[in-house]
Amino acid sequence: MTQFSKRLTALPTYPMAEIPALKRRLVQQGVDVIDVGAGDADFAPPEVAVEALAHAIRDPAMSRYAFQLGLPAFREAAAGYMKRRFGVRCDPFTELHPLIGSKEGIAHLAMALLDPGDVAIVPEPGYAVYEGGTVLAGAEPYRYALTPRTGFLLELDEIPSEVLRRAKLVYLNYPNNPTAAIAPREYLERTVEFCRQHGIVIAYDNPYCEITFDEHVAPSIFEIRGARDIAVEFHSLSKTFCMTGWRLAWAVGRPELIAALARVKNYVDTGAFLAVQAAGAAVLPQAEALARGYVARFRERRDAMLPVLRAQGFEPETPEATMYVWVPLPEGVASAAFARRALTDVGVVTLAGSGFGGGGEGFFRIALTVGTPRLVEAAERLGKVLAAV
């Protein structure tokens, strides 16, 4: 019998692994399924991206290997966005690197930084790649539960000193998936200072920085003094511009950290498709304007769904950012059981909080990724499940 690696067997079950098969079976049975599970909005990507891709794909040079250099125009557009949006200057060739989606970059950074015996501090609930990348790097994840007690903030001074001595990396994600929490500047300032004192690199996952509501403006970690020394920030075109399947993102950090990430990537990929990078280069100069249109639609969906959820007996906070609603369950109701009943009993796909790690127990996530009438119907159906538990 084949013996698999200890790293493979140490990987937790991916939170969405079973859902496509269950959903497919229900659809085949004629069930009207409303899928508010994956963070993959139903909006079309920007027309400028489609046009740029269509033009670039006709150029034979765009079908060649991208390698790690990629398309200089994309690097320059990403650096221009960082400067215009956050006031952050970065060299597009030494302090910025294209990624095939931020997911792979986050995982590969762990491989560049961590050895067996090292610790990465992982928020839970959180994106599964934080723990997965740590495990695949042979290091040890230390799970910190994000709860309402701290406003869903990861408080490093609460972590045991024996863990901090071995910690080399911490994953931060604000605006946060799945809780939709935002990070006050004061929190970021003291967290950066803490990491500087303890020699911990911050992997700052920032894909929702443009999806904010009610006058909140999400910062870059590099707006915080001292962050340049110890942070790598990840940005993506996936969520804001509805380009999830295009797989295009970038990382920013000081040259030594970016070079380490690029060195790992040299051995595992040959770069994002150049034509897609050309599309990204066309989108980023008008990123803020394009984002406003999408955000207005997400806000409309949020504001339509929340009153219906509350009328059904749920008590969600109003999210100030992201495309998610993080919904608490009554005490004693297991999130996985609730999510399974939501799917099998009323045909609504949600994500159980426990699927994001044990710290997410007691909640489930709704993604604002279908039209307003379907979101309202989903909320009403979920109310029937709540009434039956």
Q: What is the pLDDT of residues 263-313, one digit of tens each?
A: 999 999 999 999 999 999 999 999 999 999 999 999 999 999 999 999 999
Half-sphere exposure of 26 (CA within 13 A, CB side): 21
Contact 319/326 with Cβ under 8 angstroms?
Answer: yes
Residue matched to tokens 């839970």: 124
Say how far apart CA 272 and CA 65 lie, in whole Å: 9
Ranges in the chain annotated CATH 3.90.1150.10: 6-45+288-388
pLDDT at 82: 98
CATH number of 48-285: 3.40.640.10
pLDDT at 58: 97
Say how far apart CA 248 and CA 66 lie, in whole Å: 13
Q: And the tokens for 304? A: 């339509």
Q: Give me the residues paired with residue 123 across strands.
A: 144
Query: Any idea what DSSP says for residue 212?
Result: B
Q: And the tokens for 306? A: 């929340």
pLDDT band at residue 77, thresholds of 50, 70 and 90?
very high
Neighbouring residues of 75: CB distance < 8 A, sequence distance ≥ 6: 92, 93, 96, 98, 250
Q: Tell me which of 12 and 344 has the higher pLDDT.
A: 344
CATH homologous superfamily of domain 6-45+288-388?
Aspartate Aminotransferase, domain 1 (3.90.1150.10)
Say how far apart CA 207 and CA 247 lie, in whole Å: 13
Say how far apart CA 309 and CA 353 lie, in whole Å: 17
User: What percentage of the chain has pLDDT greater than the value 90?
Assistant: 91
pLDDT band at residue 15, thresholds of 50, 70 and 90?
low
Helix (H) or strand (E) holding 271: none
pLDDT score of 254 more than 80: yes
366: phi then psi, degrees, rounded to nearest 5: -115, 135
Ranges in the chain annotated CATH 3.40.640.10: 48-285
pLDDT score of 227 more than 70: yes
Query: Any idea what DSSP says for residue 100?
Result: S
The dihedral sign for the CA sequence 334, 336, 338, 344: negative
